[in-house]
């Protein structure tokens, strides 16, 4: 329990640090929500100053940060000037979409990468394994945005899949939503797959070359039993640690994919807030993404704690 308490405390300190840095960077960024009104001759400087004072934008940074912390305690997470309301409900509407997208892509990526990585490690220096490495290298070299554009173009040309959004006009059923998920989930999965397969292959290969595995093979233990009963449990530790990192990587990449595919997650909300200089929403999305990353790493720490008795000791 002491180990988990330390990890929770570390995550809390990380959240505080990210919030402080985000506030500092937003204060250093040029302009604010009312900057575009300066070009309108009908809006006087006194009016702009009054608007900034009304919304607390003229207050010192520590005062604004303390005000934001109090709003976090209420669950508001600040006040959105663009949407004229608290940020918390906006995040609550978009977070399920992002979690659904990243959750499916993460599950699919690991379900594919584990057997592929084990197979690749077991078939080292063979031409099928070399072909797999070439395919993975090609996938790794393609940016996720380009992959999404190609898939969207194919969907438009063939009409086999909807090109963006959550539902087609006149359709609001689960099957239609699943069809809309195909392109963003495929994009994220193909972007994550090469990294996961390489790590699984490396971990399994290292375990196969360990003295205990060589001794077991010399004693005539069948290859399949050696892989799944002896080698894979040893290779689990680095893979469990990779789980939290893969979730964080997928979350950062999913925001751009959501924008491109029109998926109603945090990505479009984040982009609109940046263009509008609605820094309360920007900070809310940043904190939500950081929380997901910390939660993923904490889940990996819990699994590692259960799997490795050396940590419990």
pLDDT of residue 57: 80
pLDDT of residue 73: 87
- 3 state DSSP class of 33: coil
pLDDT of residue 91: 92
Q: How far apart are CA 111 and CA 26, in angstroms?
A: 40
The radius of gyration of the chain from alpha carbons, rounded to an integer in Å, stands at 24
Q: How far apart are CA 129 and CA 91, in angstroms?
A: 44
Q: How far apart are CA 90 and CA 164, in angstroms?
A: 21
Burial class (CB in 10 A: 0-12, 13-18, 19+), 193: buried
Across the chain, the runs of DSSP E, i.e. the strands, are: 79-80, 85-86
pLDDT of residue 313: 56
Q: What is the DSSP letter of 161?
A: S
Q: Say which residue the tokens 């994220």 belong to.
A: 188
Q: How far apart are CA 251 and CA 244, in angstroms?
A: 11
Burial class (CB in 10 A: 0-12, 13-18, 19+), 293: buried
Q: Is residue 67 within 8 Å of residue 56, measured between CB atoms?
A: yes
Beta bridge partners of 187: none
40: left (phi over 0), alpha (psi -120 to 50) or beta: beta
pLDDT (tens digit, 0 to 9) for every residue of the chain, 313 residues total? Answer: 677 788 888 888 988 899 899 888 888 877 777 777 777 677 777 887 888 888 888 888 888 888 888 988 888 888 888 888 899 999 999 999 888 888 899 889 999 998 898 888 888 878 888 888 889 888 888 888 888 888 888 888 887 777 777 777 666 667 777 888 888 999 999 988 888 898 888 888 888 888 877 887 787 788 778 777 777 777 777 777 777 777 767 777 788 888 888 888 888 899 889 888 888 899 999 998 888 888 887 877 777 777 666 665 5
Q: How far is CA 99 from CA 142, 267, 311, in A?
A: 24, 12, 30
Q: Under 8 Å CB-to-CB from 247, ≥6 apart: which residues?
A: 102, 106, 292, 293, 296, 297
Q: Under 8 Å CB-to-CB from 196, ≥6 apart: which residues?
A: 109, 110, 113, 114, 117, 242, 246
Is pTM beyond 0.75? Reply is: yes
Largest Cα–Cα distance of the chain, in whole Å?
A: 88
CATH class of 98-276: mainly alpha
pLDDT of residue 309: 65
Determine how many CB atoms are found less than 10 A away from the CB of residue 92.
12
């Amino acid at each position: 329990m002491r180990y988990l308490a330390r990890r929770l405390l570390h995550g809390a300190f990380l959240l505080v640090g990210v919030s402080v840095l985000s506030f500092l960077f937003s204060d250093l960024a040029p302009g604010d929500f009312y900057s575009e009104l300066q070009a309108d001759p009908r809006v006087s400087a006194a009016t702009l100053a009054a608007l900034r004072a009304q919304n607390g934008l003229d207050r010192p940074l520590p005062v604004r940060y303390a005000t934001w912390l109090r709003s976090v305690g209420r669950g508001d997470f600040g006040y959105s000037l663009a949407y004229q309301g608290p940020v918390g409900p906006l995040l609550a509407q978009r977070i399920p979409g992002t979690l659904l997208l990243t959750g499916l892509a993460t599950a699919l990526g690991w379900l594919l990468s584990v057997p592929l990585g084990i197979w690749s490690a077991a078939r080292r220096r063979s031409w099928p394994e070399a072909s797999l490495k070439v395919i993975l290298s090609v996938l790794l070299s393609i940016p996720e945005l380009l992959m999404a554009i190609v898939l969207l173009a194919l969907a438009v040309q063939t009409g086999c899949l909807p090109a963006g959004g959550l539902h087609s006009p006149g359709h609001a059923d689960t099957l239609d939503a699943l069809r809309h998920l195909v392109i963003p989930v495929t994009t994220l999965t193909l972007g994550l797959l090469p990294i996961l397969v390489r790590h699984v292959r490396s971990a399994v290969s290292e375990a196969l070359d360990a003295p205990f595995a060589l001794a077991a093979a010399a004693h005539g233990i069948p290859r399949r039993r050696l892989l799944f009963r002896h080698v894979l449990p040893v290779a689990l530790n680095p893979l469990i640690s990779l789980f939290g990192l893969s979730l964080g990587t997928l979350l950062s990449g999913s925001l751009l994919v959501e924008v491109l595919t029109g998926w109603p997650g945090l990505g479009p909300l984040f982009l609109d807030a940046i263009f509008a200089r609605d820094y309360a929403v920007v900070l809310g999305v940043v904190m939500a993404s950081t929380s997901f990353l910390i939660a993923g790493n904490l889940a990996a720490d819990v699994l590692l704690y259960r799997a490795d008795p050396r940590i419990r000791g």
